[in-house]
């Protein structure tokens, strides 16, 4: 598969728009072709194409309302597209039954924007929840897996605490542990550093990179922490008005001299939210 052909974004026609890495060496863990989704009259995804190399971190960025979170919800199988194709770990998922989707979901780990920890459950029980609900592991094996995973994210010793007793950064780590505890092949993160200060944001970014490298994960992450998140990304996908405008390495994307991306980046640096109309 030619990544330059299948990932070419719909841009402004300039030579610098539509950057795609040309190495093509890694197999793709996820392939998205011409993905479309609308809600009523509102078109949210307007023919998105994306290849996610296996064993990489791909960061989806863009202005609010551009379609990045809706795209992630399609990749983690929470939504079905109106048209288009999604291949995950060599399985075409858009036409699968619920049973088939569940088999693919077993390969995925998900960290939601708010963390989604259960307030009434201890950290141990929160992290153990996917194993209790979806596996046949015994009590002792579950306990060992939970403690091992918590330790891997720097939270050993907090098993008996409740989410309200942890700082925001520690809650994010606990949510990450829950996403990792069943040992997924692909990890999806929706704004994993929302609400954290720059120091804790940097710590979470470094943890994500270290975890990805240690476990050889494929990571897809929606992030608003631009350009800080580029330090850990292998690929950056810039979505604007429901289309994949730029895709490539952080260096390729930031040096593309694309007017809309440059305005987005400048807006993020100024802290104004970077709401773009594309005009």
Q: Is 156 helix (H, G, I), strand (E, B) or coil?
A: coil
Structure confidence at residue 214 (pLDDT): 92
For residue 141, what are the domain limits?
119-182
Mean pLDDT by 10 residues, the chain (279 residues): 39 35 64 96 96 97 92 95 96 93 93 84 96 93 96 93 93 93 95 89 93 95 94 96 96 95 84 49
Residues 155 and 231 in one domain: no
Residues 95 and 189 in one domain: yes
Structure confidence at residue 267 (pLDDT): 85
Please check whether residue 275 lies inside any domain of the structure. Answer: no
Structure confidence at residue 77 (pLDDT): 95
Residues 79 and 100 in one domain: yes
| 183 vs 137: CA distance, rounded Å | 13
Structure confidence at residue 195 (pLDDT): 85
Q: Are 274 and 263 in contact (CB under 8 A)?
A: yes
Residues 12 and 81 in one domain: yes
Residues 150 and 242 in one domain: no
| 207 vs 6: CA distance, rounded Å | 31
Structure confidence at residue 194 (pLDDT): 87
Please check whether residue 114 lies inside any domain of the structure. Answer: no
Predicted TM-score of the model (pTM): 0.85
Q: Are 215 and 157 in contact (CB under 8 A)?
A: no
Domain total in the chain: 2
40: alpha, beta or left? (left if phi > 0; alpha if psi -120 to 50): left
- Where is the domain boundary, 133, 161, 182? 182
DSSP at 163: G
């Amino acid at each position: 598969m030619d990544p330059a052909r299948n990932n070419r974004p719909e841009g402004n026609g300039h030579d610098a728009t539509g950057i795609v890495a040309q190495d093509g060496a890694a197999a793709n863990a996820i392939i998205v072709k011409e993905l479309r989704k609308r809600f009523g009259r509102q078109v949210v995804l307007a023919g998105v194409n994306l290849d996610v190399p296996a064993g990489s971190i791909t960061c989806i960025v863009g202005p609010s309302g551009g379609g990045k979170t809706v795209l992630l919800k399609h990749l983690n199988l929470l939504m079905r597209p109106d048209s288009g194709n999604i291949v995950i770990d060599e399985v075409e998922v858009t036409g699968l039954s619920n049973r088939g989707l569940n088999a693919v979901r077993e390969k995925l780990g998900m960290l939601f924007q708010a963390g989604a920890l259960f307030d009434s459950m201890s950290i141990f029980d929160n992290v153990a929840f996917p194993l209790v609900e979806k596996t046949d592991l015994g009590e002792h094996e579950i306990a060992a897996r939970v403690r091992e995973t918590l330790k891997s994210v720097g939270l050993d010793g907090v098993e008996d605490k409740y989410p309200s007793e942890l700082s925001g950064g520690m809650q994010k780590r606990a949510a990450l542990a829950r996403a990792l505890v069943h040992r997924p092949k692909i990890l999806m993160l929706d704004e994993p550093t929302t609400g954290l200060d720059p120091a804790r944001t940097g710590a979470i970014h470094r943890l994500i990179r270290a975890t990805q490298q240690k476990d050889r994960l494929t990571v897809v992450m929606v992030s608003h922490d631009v350009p800080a998140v580029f330090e850990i990304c292998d690929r950056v996908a810039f979505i604007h008005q429901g289309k994949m405008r730029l895709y490539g390495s952080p260096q390729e994307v930031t040096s593309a001299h694309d007017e809309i991306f440059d305005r987005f980046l400048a807006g993020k640096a100024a802290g104004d939210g970077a709401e773009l109309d594309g005009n």
